[in-house]
Structure 1
Amino acid sequence: MIGKLRAALGAHGVFVRGVVCFDGGEGPLLQDGTPARSVILFGNIGGSIWEPFSRWRQLPENAGCRDPLDDWSKQIIEPIAAAFSATAYFPSDPPWQPFQRWAMQAEGLRASPLGILIHPEYGLWHGYRGALGFAESIEERGAGAVSKHPCDHCAEKPCLTACPVGAVTSAGFDVAGCRSHLRMDSGRAGCMTGGCLARNACPVGTNYRYSPAQLAFHMAALHP
């Protein structure tokens, strides 16, 4: 199962990110109304999806999509769900599923001060594009094995000092403060063009950092 899913998703730069198994009745509902026994998470590692997604965006029929990355993800994952008799879930769609909690269980990750889950290898440069729910339990060797939290071993913590308006602190992420900064000329010339300065300052996973075009795309999605 896992191998077939990897093969189906690989051409799109989408990876199997992990598996979560549930006790009876605890999983999200499948299409038939019964609870899933397992969920497989899918997502990007670094800029793995950017080239396939960019090619898709350039097609005339996809011009003007309001949420292009969400639409692209669904076009990739929904046919795979049908082929594997699974139920597809997406972070953008209600009923809202606990993707962050699933990722913590599947890969043993924890949140960074920015609120983004940080991976010991990929750093802050990864994401989750969807998941499939199954009626049976699916075991993946090594699931949940990642447990080292990079922030615990980062003495300088440059992410806490890089934000020009102090929106990133050890106490949490000030979303309103961040959005206010992005409305200003300094925010448009800084974070909006080159990516979040606090995120860029993180020393973990720099080899997986998004390209300038991808950074600009994601920042534009955050613009109020």
Structure 2
Amino acid sequence: MIEIPRACLTADEIAEANLVEVIDHHKIGCLSTDLPISVRIMPVGCTCTIIYSLYKENNVEIPYEIAGLLLSAILSDTLIFKSPTTTEKDKEVALALAKIVNVDYEKYGMEMFKAGTSLDGFSIEEIVNMDFKEFDMSGKRVGIGQVMTLDIDAVLSKKEEFLAYINATEFDMLVLAVTDIINEGSYLIYKGEDKVISEAFSVNATQGVFAEGVVSRKKQLVPKLTDAVKNI
């Protein structure tokens, strides 16, 4: 299993999946197996950094196509090393993979984001739920969606449509972070109290406010919101 889901897996789901190994870079939730399995969890920015290490540890040559996929995943997960989740190991591995596929990782990364972050053709609901996770924060049901795009204006121009959808959900609080990887921050569209957003991100909370430097859900959005909800 790559990337453990936050939600607990049932015994039936694990049995059906025939789980034999876990490779991940997230915190461990609840995971139970009937038999011992191999587990490799490291505090790095991308699971593919760990997969690269496994190739090297087992003296297996990385094929060109696989190297390209691993590099793409690392650049995506670390936002071309701009995310606070990035480690020196991620950078080291990405540079090694870039040599295998003979690309300039920065140029390739930007081209990849341009191609992969277009939201043309997606509905409001699809964009909000594109990369969405649910959390329990001090007894409140909180949802956090994140979308990365180079066309920020196209999203913010539909702010009222996003708000209508978000406010109609059953979440106590829901935040959509529209992440701008060029300016290294996120525009926030949210359901919830302004004071929570202000407290969490040290901003004057208004719909579409820019939270400077906030690009990671795991390292920034979740802990900052968790603390703010707890304190207010």
Length-normalised TM-score, structure 2: 0.27
Larger Rg: 2
Higher relative contact order (CA 8 A, sep 6+): 1
